[in-house]
Amino acid sequence: MKRTGVDANQLELEDKVVNIKRVTKVVKGGSNSRFTALVVVGDRNGHVGVGLGKAKEVPEAIRKGKEDAMKHIIEVPLDENSSIPHDYIGKYGASNVLLKRAPEGTGIIAGGPARIVCELAGIRNVRTKSLGSNNKQNVVLATVTGLTELKTPEEMARKRGKSVSEITA
């Protein structure tokens, strides 16, 4: 994932725990139990990050996940009606998430993991469909990957050496 020059300390971030898993490792003397927490942070204004924390206790895993998410904040381009600039399929592992732009008043039509990412990113109108694997961690990461790859019409026009009106037509 590409990182932006966003300082997480300057943003008012909200966090949500997507998933907590109990992981057991079998060793010579028995088994070790740990917890992994998948945490999403965002400011509901175009910035979102995902992190994974692992620890022996749940609160510690959540804290570590939040810290990791703050290190991996990305900037999401939004259009005039708080939607995404264009349709895109985000891919991660065996999970694919189709992100479709939507007109004002549509709301967030998304499944659990993708919904949390979209809400915390500040997207208010979007349709998503989870394709392939439904593993929560991979769906969240596929959604974030898709949001990372989005380009504004201005960026595309600059890249192609054309005007914005030629790109949007």
Question: Which domain covers residue 46, as residue numbers?
Answer: 8-74
Instruction: Point out the domain boundary residue: 40, 74, 108.
Output: 74
Span 40-57, average pLDDT = 95
End-to-end CA distance of the chain: 30
For 116-129, what is each residue's pLDDT tens digit? 999 999 999 999 99
Residue 101 has pLDDT above 70, yes or no: yes
Residue ending a domain, choose from 74, 98, 119: 74
147 inside domain? yes
pTM summary value: 0.90
pLDDT given at position 21: 95
What count of residues does the chain have?
169
Contact yes or no for 51/74 (Cβ under 8 A): no
Domain endpoint, select from 31, 57, 74: 74
Residue 140's contacts (CB-CB under 8 Å, 6 or more residues apart) are: 18, 38, 40, 50, 113, 114, 116, 117
Tell me the angle at which helices 136-148 and 112-121 cross, rounded to the nearest 10 degrees: 40
Q: Are residues 97 and 160 in the same domain?
A: yes
- For residue 31, pLDDT over 90 is answered with yes
For residue 81, pLDDT beyond 90: no
> Could you tell me if residue 1 is inside a domain?
no
Statement to judge: residues 111 and 127 lie in one domain: yes
How many Å apart are CA 35 and CA 137, to the nearest integer?
A: 14
**Total Cβ atoms within 10 A of residue 45:** 15
Domain identity same for 40 and 98: no
Percent of the chain with pLDDT over 90: 76
